[in-house]
Chain A
C-alpha cells in the first residue's frame, strides 16, 4: 500500500515557471494532462497525440503535432525534429499560447507578438529555409479544403494560387514580368498579419480552479 504520495517536486516547477511564465497551478494542471496523454510514461510521442479524438478530426493536425516535435520551438537556434518530448519541451511549446499578462509594457507585448508569429511561421515553413514557399502554402490550403463536395480539386488549387499571388502583391508590390516570387519570408509574414490581433486570438486561457470543495 505504501505511504502517502509526495507532490511533484516544487523546485522543478520553479525553474519551469521562470522559463515559461506559467504559474505553479497551471504547470501542475498541464503536468497531469501530460501524464494522461502519455499514459504515465516519461515522454510523449506522435502516436500519443494521434489518439486524441478531437485532434484527429482537425484538418491540420499534422502541422500542429509537428510543432511539438520541432526543435526550433524549444530553443533559439534549434534545428530538425525529435521523436519524443519530455514535459519541459511540452510546456515550452504550450507557452507560446500564453495570454498576455496585464502588466506588460508595449515592448514586451510586441516581442510576445513576434514570438507567437514566429511560432506560426515555423509551423508552415517545414523545411526551415526561412521562407514559406508556394508548395508549403498550397499544402496548408489543400489540407483545409475538402477534396470532395463543394469544391473540386482544381478549384482548391486555384484558390491556393490566387491566395499566393495576393500575398506576393502585398509583399513585393509590383513585380516585373519575369520576376520569380520565392516565398513568404518572416518579414513579409509580419506585414501580412499586421492588423491581426494575434495576442488575443492565439491564446489558451486557464479557468480559475476552486480548491475548496466539500466532500458531501
Chain B
C-alpha cells in the first residue's frame, strides 16, 4: 500500500515537473516571439526603409545628460584627489624655437663662430630635439586609442579614474547591465539578420540577367542590409552636404579609422568595394556580393603588382555606369585624431575624386580598431557593447588632378581638405609606420640641412686644411 502511494506520489511529482517545464517552454517561446516582433517590426523594417522611430535620438540625448552629470561628479572628485591629467592635443612639452637654421644660427652667434667651422654646441640643438621627440612625438600616439578628457562610464576607457562616489558606481553598474543584457542581444540579432539578408539577397539577385532592374534591386538589397547592420551597432550618422555625394564612375576617398567605416558610408549610398579576397565568413559574403553588382576583389598575389591593381581599377572607373569605388588611401586604421599620408596609388587611376571625412564622437564608444590589440571578432563585440556610435560624415566637393601637380601632390591636397573639414591633424607621416621603420631617406635629410648651414656660412671662405704647430 505504502509502495503504491509512493509510486503514485512519484508519478504525480513527475507530472508536475513535466507540466512546469512545459510552462517554462511556453513562456520562453512567448518571450522569443515578442522579442522577434520587436526586432522585426520596430527596428528592422523601419531601418530598411530609412525611417526612424526616434528611439535612438531620445537614447542619445539621455546618454548625453548622464555623461555630463558624470563629468561634473568626476571633476568634483578630482579636486579632492588630484590625479594624472590628460595630455592636451598640442602635446606634453613646450616646443619653442624656429627651424634648424634659426636655432643653430643662434647657438653659433652666441659663441661668435665664423662660418665653415664646427662647434660642439651645434650638436646641442640635435640633442634637445632628440630628447623632445622621446618625450612627445606626433606619430606614436596615433596608433592607440584617443584618450578622453573625461570618463564616459565605460571600463575600457578608464585609465585614470578612481572610485569617486557611490552614485557614479551605481550608474556605471546600470550602464553595464543595459549595455550587455539589453542592447547587446538586440544588436547581435540585428547583425545576424542583416548579414544573412545580404548573402541571401545578393545570391537571389545574382540569378537575374544583367539589366537596369538588376542593378536597382542590388542597390536595394545592399542599402537595406547596411541599414540593418548600422542599427545593429546603434549607429547614428549625420550626413552633411549630401549634394556632393559620390557619383557613378568616380572614386570615393575617406579617412580610415575602423572597418565599420564601410557600413557607415554604405548606409547612404552604394559603392563598389575594393579589397583582398578573404577566406571564411568574409569570403562567403564577398563572393555573394560580387554576384549582384561588380565589386573589385583582389587575390593576395595580385595586390603586390601595383600595375595590375591600377589597371583593373582604371577599367572599372572608365565604365561610367559602374558604382563609385570606395578606397581608404591611408592603408591602415588611424585613431581618428589625425589624417596620415595618403598613398598616391589611388590618385593615379584618374577620374573624379570625391573626398569624404568621417569623424567619430569618442564619448559614446571608441571606434578605433587597434589591430595589434584586438582581432576582428573581439573588436566587433566591443563595438556592440559600447553606448552607441555617433558619426559625422561630410561629403566634400569633388576634386580632380590639376595639370601642374603630380599624384603625390594631389593626394596631399585631398588629405588637407579632409583633415580641415573634420578638425583632424594633418600629418605627413606614413600610416605604415605602425609596423615598419622610417625610410632611410628621411634620416639623411637632417644631415643635409645641417651641412648646408655650415657650407652656407662658408660661402665667403673655403675651408683649407691648415697645419698649425
Residues of A bordering B, CB below 8 Å: 1-2, 4-8, 24-25, 28-33, 36-37, 49-61, 63-64, 94, 97, 120, 123-124, 137, 140-141, 143-151, 155, 158-163, 165-167, 169, 175, 177, 192-193, 195-198, 201-202, 204-207, 209-216
Contact = CB atoms under 8 A, between A and B. Distances in A.
Interface stretch (B81-89, B260-268, B294-302, B321-329): B81-89
Contacts of B120: 124, 137, 140, 163, 167, 192-193
Nearest to A178: B469
Given A159-B118, A163-B117, A211-B85, A205 B94 contact: yes
B130 interface: yes
Contact of A50 (B68, B93, B138, B437): B437
Interface of B: 67-68, 70-71, 75, 78, 82-88, 90-94, 107, 110-111, 116-124, 126-141, 144, 148-150, 152, 155, 158-163, 169, 172, 176, 363, 429, 433, 437-438, 442-448, 450-452, 454-455, 463-466, 468-469
Contact of A158 (B91, B148, B448, B465): B465
Contacts of A165: 466, 468
Nearest to B441: A57
Contact of B111 (A140, A162, A175, A195): A195
Contact of A163 (B118, B152, B464): B118
Contacts of A167: 120
Contact of B451 (A64, A150, A201): A150
A146 B116 CA distance: 14
A146 B128 contact: no
A97 B352 CA distance: 52
10 interchain residue pairs of minimum CB distance: A28-B84, A54-B133, A209-B85, A146-B447, A213-B149, A64-B130, A56-B438, A215-B150, A215-B71, A150-B455
A38 B148 CA distance: 21
A9 B83 CA distance: 11
Nearest to B113: A166
A112 B138 CA distance: 30
Contact of A146 (B126, B172, B450): B450
Contacts, number: 228
B137 A54 contact: yes
Given A197-B110, A215-B68, A215-B148, A49 B86 contact: no
A207 B141 contact: no
Contacts of B176: 1
B160 A7 contact: yes
Contacts of B451: 144-146, 149-151
B447 A59 contact: yes
Contacts of B126: 58-60, 64, 144
A141 B124 CA distance: 12
Contact of A123 (B91, B110, B127): B127
Contacts of A140: 120, 123
Given A165-B468, A213-B149, A4 B127 contact: no
B261 to A, nearest CB: 24
B167 to A, nearest CB: 14
Q: Most chain-B Cβ atoms within 10 A of its Cβ — which of A24, A59, A140?
A: A59
Contacts of A202: 124, 127-128
Contacts of B131: 64, 94, 97, 204
A56 B437 contact: yes
